[in-house]
Chains A and B, each alone.
Chain A
């Protein structure tokens, strides 16, 4: 029995890229959601949470249309000479960023809200600039939120299936991620390969959640 491990590697790459992008994009978004008094926070928060409740088929369908040569995103990328993004790794990254958005934004937003005004005002009286306050006060105090956000974003992307099935095209090395490879093996009745990959995925997910729990407990104890 030979098991192709390329899908595992591909899933790890996809999850890493997605998590990094989401942490960068999610921070200002979460900050705005936590602090702004605008009436727009309600609708935007709802949009951010949508991937939690929408079936992956809905996202996959819209993405397939949007990424295609006549779609909103695909039209732009085509005119830039990059071609349409369906069936490509960047296409999967876009899909995953949308799909995992709430898992990253929500914990960061909660962390920002938990800090409250006190520490930031104190820092301001010490003449800390806005950026200084953010990097020296807000970020350190939010590290548990960031840890949860990164872990959930990463793990959720590792387990992504429906969206990839619809926009991926099952291409080895480009879009055949772990979950798709497992599905493929099951369909072809290659149960031993499916067992190996599925068991690995189960173990991995369990370890991630257990690790998160342990680290969180430790951070709690040292009072972060």
Chain B
């Protein structure tokens, strides 16, 4: 009898322990779970460390393509905050009632570069795209990754999209795209400037800063999710808007929107009627 009771305690105790963190990770108010677009990985790590040092609140980070994270949020993923690589998905989440209306703001403006780890490979006009003898040009999946969509914009604008079809390889997010190029499997690729900035200047290889007119601006927006109940979530978002985070964001090669005087960063609230 006693043995059986012990056994039951053991079993249910184990189940109980195992289920706590899985069932409700966002219930703790001193922890914020953030879904982050892959291009922001480097900056996010630094910002999270600074935020934790400042507040003592823990930050848990999930990385992925904006499209994948959006699909996961739609299907109930337990995130408090979503840092997307575009404005479209956060807006959709707001329209669908999954994000708190009015919480949306632009935290960074991304810059696309054509990059190769080889120092001499890429000229500052991108002529290599036309004349290079490369076999593989890596871009992120345009369907799910905003940097991939931007890369497609560039190739369309240069009139190369059709011609290069057979040389394109697709990373499932911008991190994998970067990794394809960094490992040498693709000679060059369209990646985020922020990814190249994580390198020391001496090992940065060669890159072409794509002129802004060739692709739609990569306005990266953050949004507070309804599923997130952590009070830490709001404090994290205001930290993300603050000067300390802006400095980090800019140091990774992003532009930041004009400093918020309150109304500035509030995106157009003209709700599109359906």
Pick the contact of A64: B65, B74, B171, B185 (CB < 8 A). Answer: B185
> Once bound together, how far apart are the Cα atoms of A69 and B118, in whole Å?
13
List chain B residues, Cβ under 8 A from A165. Answer: 172
| Size range of the chain B interface in the assembly | 20 to 34
| Complex: chain A residue closest to B145, CB-CB | A187
Q: Report the count of interface residues on A (CB-CB < 8 A).
A: 21
Hey, which chain B residues are within 8 Å of A84, CB to CB?
A: 135, 184-185
- In the bound complex, residues from chain A placing their C-beta under 8 Å from that of B171 are 169-170
- Bitwise, B183-227 to A at CB < 8 A (1) or not (0) is 111100000000000000000000000000000000000000000
Is the pair A187, B67 in contact by a Cβ cutoff of 8 Å? yes
Assembled-state Cα–Cα distance A165/B141 (Å): 12
B143 touches A68 (CB 8 A): no
Does A130 lie at the interface of the complex (its beta carbon under 8 Å from any beta carbon of B)?
no
- In the complex, the answer to whether B67 meets A188 with C-beta atoms within 8 Å is yes
**Given A68-B183, A86-B185, A188–B144 Cβ distance below 8 Å?**
yes
Q: Given known contacts A169-B169, A169-B170, A171-B169, is B186 in contact with A87 (CB within 8 Å)?
A: yes
A65 to B183, CA, bound (A): 7
A189: Cβ under 8 A from any B Cβ: yes
Contact of A68 among B74, B144, B184 (CB under 8 A): B184
A-B contact count (CB 8 A): 59
Q: Which single residue of chain A is at the shortest CB-CB distance from B142? A: A188
- Which chain A residues border B68 with CB–CB below 8 Å? 187
CB-CB contacts of B112-144 with A at 8 A, as 1s and 0s? 000000000000000000000001101001011
Report whether A64 and B143 are in contact in the complex, using a CB–CB cutoff of 8 Å.
no
| Chain A 163-197 near chain B by CB (<8 Å), digits 1 or 0 | 00100011100000000000110111100000000
Known: A83-B135, A169-B169, A170-B172. A184 touches B185 (CB 8 A): no
Does A108 interact with chain B (Cβ within 8 Å)? Answer: no
Nearest chain A residue, comparing its CB with the CB of B136:
A87
Interface of A, helix, strand, loop or mixed by DSSP: loop
Residues of the B chain whose Cβ atoms lie less than 8 Å from the Cβ of A170: 141, 169-172
Indicate if the CB atoms of B65 and A169 lie closer than 8 Å. no
A108 vs chain B, min Cβ distance (A): 34
Q: A169-B169, A170-B170 are in contact. Are A64 and B186 (CB under 8 A)?
A: no
From A172, which residue of chain B is reached at the shortest CB distance?
B165
When chains A and B are docked, how far (Å) is the Cα of A101 from the Cα of B46?
43
Q: When chains A and B are docked, how far (Å) is the Cα of A83 from the Cα of B169?
A: 15
Give A181-224 interface residues, CB cut-off 8 Å to B.
183-184, 186-189
Q: Which residue on B lies nearest to A70, using beta carbons?
A: B184
In the complex, chain A residues whose CB is within 8 Å of the CB of B8: none
Tell whether A69 pairs with B185 under 8 Å between CB atoms, given A83-B135, A165-B172, A169-B170: yes
- 6 A-B contact pairs sorted by A residue (CB < 8 Å): A68-B185, A83-B135, A169-B169, A170-B141, A171-B168, A187-B143
Q: Please give me the 9 A-B residue pairs with the lowest Cβ-Cβ distance, nearest first.
A: A169-B169, A170-B170, A86-B185, A188-B143, A87-B169, A68-B185, A187-B144, A187-B68, A69-B184
Additional 16 contacts, C-beta under 8 A, given A187-B68, A188-B144: A68-B184, A68-B185, A69-B184, A83-B135, A87-B136, A169-B185, A171-B169, A171-B170, A184-B141, A186-B71, A187-B71, A187-B141, A187-B144, A188-B67, A188-B143, A189-B71
